[in-house]
Structure 1
């Protein structure tokens, strides 16, 4: 890595953390420091604590079940070079998010989908929301997470909107990442609290497309999503992969890791829809 950076994560599962994030090439081989927050009441509080406890100019906020393969470091350097040249006042960056016209952008492996998800981009592309698996922040933008947003959902949408409202760029770029996530069954009441908060806070910016569903003034997209999710539960569960597997196997299937190929490659690209 040509730049000073650090990783901040919120963790409640030591086994998951060590199997994935702490096994990443940029941590084990390149020595990027990792600050772990435990027991925080919300992602925003955890991440702001991590931001205050570190001083690197580039901060990677990552889920504990994220694995950064060896190709990630060079990809991030290229993206940061591009941003330095084209938008030095950028604020936030991610490997996956929603375009202004409502497309899922990115090139990431999702174990819960058993394949690659997103539409790859050739260059950093402006977006309206992020998936929270990984968010990269430029410290000098002075953007931080909103501690009024409860629990652990939709802070990727909120911070993109905060950056855009402050006149800073928010981008998705080609950053190969393995999200070794477990099957997502249903959206619970914790999601409802975040959804209602974002819907109130950004009412003037609505409608907003998040990676999961639309946020509109009437709030009806959430119950409709839940209905479709109930109907598709069995099919989605059957498709999900094994999140306890070594993420290097999935990275190898994507061509991001130099390992012997798995017996049966499951690499495929999935089109994400609201009802899946």
Structure 2
């Protein structure tokens, strides 16, 4: 049994082949792809059932893991196990308990590296879903009642915390070669309302995009803000056709093994 498996939900072999499939660590870590699933939760639970590694890395198909990323992950998990032997989740980008953005991650849609660089693992209340590391022995699974492709990074962390487990993020750089996101659509709003209903007793919760509140007004504020900032954000976004190796080199992440 391999210690690590990478799991991905993909609807596009073209996107997958230009990004995640180019990650050098796939020479030693198996990649499991779930195609055309009805929701992220369904895809990822299917991946859990189809694999047996103790550590499952759930990554978007537009993510690239630079050279040495697997060595860095092993080093980061060793650091984490020293302070939390029963850790449940780890991620490249999350929202701390103090609402700070913990990274660092390159985002093509924002044209920059986002998230602060912590010197030690930081406990978080949610993840950007671009990359989530799950420890199988935690017993966690994704909630298939949460339809669609949003907020499952917040949901899985909240599940862990209600069980007395912890979720963490740290300095685990990767490239998120995502396209420009114009607005928060109806599917996003539906997932937001589902999270409000499910976790009413735990609110407020902060996802990387919006605060989930009892009133729900924060969604409206974020939708208005997204519409008003569309032109500004479009100018920030870069072409996601740039080779991911070039993006990694520009970030100084051509080889992460030296940081391990």
Task: Name the CA distance, whole Å, in 2 between partners of 1:121 and 1:132.
Answer: 19
**Residue of 178, 182, 205 corresponding to 1:181:** 178
- Does the aligned pair in 1 maintain the 2:25–2:68 contact within 8 Å? no
**Residue of 228, 242, 245 corresponding to 1:231:** 228
- Does the aligned pair in 2 maintain the 1:92–1:137 contact within 8 Å? yes
Scaled by the length of structure 1, the TM-score of the pair is 0.90
The yes-or-no answer on 1:40 pairing with 2:42 is: no
Structure 1 residues without counterparts, runs of 5 or longer? 259-276
Give the secondary structure class of the aligned counterpart of 2:28.
Answer: coil
**Runs of 4+ in structure 1 over 4 Å off:** none
Deviation at 1:115, TM superposition (A): 1.0
1:268 alignment counterpart: none
2:165 alignment counterpart: 168
Task: Name the CA distance, whole Å, in 1 between partners of 2:81 and 2:126.
Answer: 21
The yes-or-no answer on 1:80 pairing with 2:77 is: yes
Give the secondary structure class of the aligned counterpart of 2:17.
Answer: helix
1:21 alignment counterpart: 20
Deviation at 1:109, TM superposition (A): 0.3
Deviation at 1:77, TM superposition (A): 1.1
2:8 alignment counterpart: 9
Q: How does 1:106-145 map to 2 (within 5 A)?
A: 106-145=103-142
2:207 alignment counterpart: 210
Task: Name the CA distance, whole Å, in 2 between partners of 1:133 and 1:169.
Answer: 19
Deviation at 1:71, TM superposition (A): 3.3
- Does the aligned pair in 2 maintain the 1:71–1:176 contact within 8 Å? no
Tell me whether 9-18 or 76-85 shows the greater mean CA deviation: 76-85
Task: Name the CA distance, whole Å, in 2 between partners of 1:98 and 1:84.
Answer: 20
Deviation at 1:84, TM superposition (A): 2.1
Structure 2 residues without counterparts, runs of 5 or longer? 256-260
- Does the aligned pair in 2 maintain the 1:71–1:256 contact within 8 Å? no
Deviation at 1:239, TM superposition (A): 1.0
Give the secondary structure class of the aligned counterpart of 1:137.
Answer: strand
Task: Name the CA distance, whole Å, in 1 between partners of 2:16 and 2:112.
Answer: 21
Q: What is the aligned length?
A: 254
Task: Name the CA distance, whole Å, in 2 between partners of 1:33 and 1:105.
Answer: 27
Task: Name the CA distance, whole Å, in 2 between partners of 1:79 and 1:209.
Answer: 24
2:258 alignment counterpart: none
Scaled by the length of structure 2, the TM-score of the pair is 0.96
Task: Name the CA distance, whole Å, in 1 between partners of 2:107 and 2:6.
Answer: 20
The yes-or-no answer on 1:147 pairing with 2:144 is: yes
The yes-or-no answer on 1:158 pairing with 2:151 is: no
Task: Name the CA distance, whole Å, in 1 between partners of 2:138 and 2:47.
Answer: 16
Give the secondary structure class of the aligned counterpart of 1:136.
Answer: strand
- Residue-by-residue CA offset, 1:106-130 (whole Å, 9 max, x unaligned): 1010000111001111111100000
